[in-house]
Structure formats: C-alpha cells, structure tokens
Amino acid sequence: MRSTLTSGPLGCIHQSVASDPIYKHIGAVIKARRKTLQYKQETLAGMLGISRGSLANVETGRQGILVHQLYKFAAALGLTAHDLLPPALTGPSRGERTELPLPNDLKALQKEQIARLFDQVNTTEILGKEGKHAKSTKRWSDRQGTPPSRQP
C-alpha cells in the first residue's frame, strides 16, 4: 500500500491513498471525547481555529495532525496529548513488548525480523558506548595521532 503525504491548510498532513492507523485512533478518541462533552464539530473546530471539514477529516483519520496540533486538540478536550495516542506508542512497561509502527506492506517474516532486532538492542547501552568510544578516540588521537582502528 502506497501513501503520499501532502501539506494541507494550517499545516495539517494529508495522506492521499491510505490512512495510517495512528491517525484513525487519534481521530476516534477526538470524536468520542467531543461527543462526551456534547460539542458540535463546528464548536470544537472554532476553538481550534480550523474548519469543520478539517475536523471531520481528522476524526475519520483521513487527515493527520502535527505534534503541536495534538496538544491543541488535547487542551480543547480537557485531555493530555498522551490520552490521544494509541497504547503501543505511549511507551511499554519494563519487559513488555509493544507493536512497532511498521509499514503495512511488510511481510510477516520481515515484521518478525525487525521486532527481534529491536528486542536485542539496548539503546541506552549503545548510546553510552558510542559516547565513550568517541571520547576515547579523541584522546588517543590527541596523544598519538590516528587510532589503530582507523589506520589503513
């Protein structure tokens, strides 16, 4: 499935072919909360400074929103931005595996391979090692020229 992104009014992101599931989820939460608060689309759209049509597109997932707009929607609805996001994107508990936001056109084997790769990676450890390596490389070059790992 192919998706083309274009920028629309007020900087909203449009996906012309297929909607990303995250936008459908965000839109459904916005719509449910709007109805709970008994706001008409016109009312909420006016609070946000967007058209009623744009709000309708956001609620159905046909139109995405930018991060700063996520916060505006949340504030207008008495929510936090975190409340609008799908559970898989809000961060896993330690040891809990979440679904990765992967393209829909990947085969099951490809998705499994990517998930295994992410399970094996400890980004905190990697970032720490890279930082130490960069510092030690600099110190080596300050003292003795090119470090052994960089010599021809």
What is the predicted pLDDT for the residue at 74?
Answer: 95
Counting every residue written for the chain, the total comes to 152
Per-residue pLDDT tens digits of the chain, which is 152 residues long: 334 455 555 454 444 434 688 999 999 999 999 999 999 999 999 999 999 999 999 999 999 999 999 999 999 999 999 999 988 655 555 455 566 677 888 888 888 888 777 776 655 555 555 445 444 444 544 445 555 555 55
Q: What residue spans define the domains of the chain? A: 5-89, 108-146
Contacts of 83 (CB under 8 A, 6+ apart): 29, 74
Edge-to-edge strand ranges of the sheet holding 5-7: 5-7, 13-15, 63-64
CB 23 within 8 A of CB 8: no
Q: Return the CATH number of 5-89, one of 1.10.260.40, 3.40.109.10, 1.20.1060.10, 1.20.1250.20.
A: 1.10.260.40
CB 108 within 8 A of CB 102: no
Tell me the C-alpha distance between 99 and 89, whole Å.
8
Angle between helices 67-76 and 21-36 (to 10 degrees): 20
